[in-house]
Amino acid sequence: MANDGSRNDPFLAFRFEVSLAGLPAGGFSDCSGLASETEIQEYPEGGRNDTVHKLIVRSKQANLVLKRGIADRLLWDWYFDLTQGLIATRHGTLTIRSPDGGSALAEWEFSDAFPVKWTGPELNAGQSAVAVETLELAHSGLRRRT
């Protein structure tokens, strides 16, 4: 890396957006599960006691978990339709934006997403917190776009 006095600061995690095809833009307060892992199979070779071979098997992705304040019933309807056998998968993107909200700093695309879990808000009459719903999405893979 050249020492020209410039530096690359890490991206901030508070300015992001999640887009799901066929649904209007919604503001999510939390997104987790942006993870991919590669399974390996260990293969001990007879006569070699100094090492075990590690073979690549497959990669798998964690489910995305999205949280937002309840403002409509779109996410509930998507999940409920799935429980009734009406499966609609959607493509989507997760974008980290610059602090001013302008340019996209990092973007991941996920495909064939469908809801596998919906959790309603925790209600408490003694608090004035926002009613938050959680939607967990299974998907067919992540691709880094930017």
Establish if 8 belongs to a structural domain.
no
pLDDT exceeds 90 at position 143:
yes
Report which secondary-structure segment, H or E, holds 57.
strand 53-61
Q: Has residue 47 been placed in a domain?
A: yes
Q: What is the residue range of 58's domain?
A: 16-144
pLDDT over 60 at 112, yes or no: yes
CA 85 vs. chain centroid, Å, equals: 24
Inter-residue contact 118 to 79 (CB < 8 Å): yes
In single-letter form, the type of residue at position 102 comes to G
* Cα(95)–Cα(25) distance, integer angstroms: 13
Average pLDDT for 137-142: 95
In a domain, 81, yes or no: yes
CATH number of 96's domain: 2.30.110.20
Q: Is residue 1 part of a domain?
A: no
Domain count along the chain: 1
- Length reported for the chain: 146
Residue 116 has pLDDT above 90, yes or no: yes
The verdict on residue 3 lying in a domain is no
Domain membership flag for residue 11: no
Residue 22 is given by DSSP the state T
Render pLDDT for 2-24 as a digit per residue (tens, 0 to 9). 566 688 877 877 888 899 998 88
Please report which helix (H) or strand (E) contains residue 137, including its range.
strand 132-138
> Does residue 1 have a pLDDT over 60?
no
pLDDT at 2: 55
Has residue 104 been placed in a domain? yes
pLDDT reported for residue 119:
96
pLDDT at 26 > cutoff 80: no
d(CA 32, CA 55) in angstroms, rounded, equals 29
52 within some domain: yes
What is the percent of the chain with per-residue pLDDT over 70, rounded to a whole number?
97
